[in-house]
Structure 1
Amino acid sequence: MTDDITQRIRAIIAEQAMLEPEQVSDEATPADLGIDSLGLVESIFAIEEEFDISIPFNANEPEKSEFDISTMGTIIAAVRRLVAEKNG
């Protein structure tokens, strides 16, 4: 069973990738889902808005970002951490 945060993130990513949320697995990379760099930035903005958080991601230098975008699982884990910090 997936929690609410995971479901909401998968829905955002799936919309960007034009997929169904259940097609977004934790192991999938943005590239696996057909999401390019612009799509990834749009997804990050949508996640920030959905959860009222600020994601430390620099689209110009993603490798220097503290926000791990390597897979959907790492994105979900990072968003969970940011939401927990916000709700403290």
Structure 2
Amino acid sequence: MSTSTPSIHDRIVAIIAEQAMLDPAQITPDASPAELGVDSLGLVESIFAIEEAFDITIPFNANEPEKSDFDISSMGAIIAAVERLIAERG
């Protein structure tokens, strides 16, 4: 068993999988939160969990997600956006 820290990708997938009550292996990069069964409240809870896990602030407007700079259209987009926020934080 590897003792390395889980990657950003793996940690985000684990958070979303827990929210969706799915096995992390079922989470694909092109799947949208809705396709995974994550409703808007679940998505907000997932965003909070991701912020807490990585000590970042996600610019996300839960009422109008289409007006956010944070792309929540797919798992791949969410992961890329979180990785960018972490990189910008330094």
**What runs of 5+ residues in structure 1 fail to find an aligned partner?**
none
Structure 1 residue 55 corresponds to structure 2 residue 89:
no
AA aligned to 1:73 is: G
Sequence identity percentage = 73
Q: 1:73 aligns with which of 71, 76, 80?
A: 76
What is the letter of the counterpart of residue 53 of structure 1? I
Pick one of 10, 19, 29 that aligns with 2:32. 29
Name the count of aligned residue pairs.
85
Structure 2 CA distance for aligned equivalents of residues 83 and 63 of structure 1: 22
Structure showing greater radius of gyration is 2
RMSD of aligned Cα (Å): 0.9
Q: Tell me, which stretches of 5 or more residues in structure 2 are unaligned?
A: 1-5
SS at match of 2:37: coil
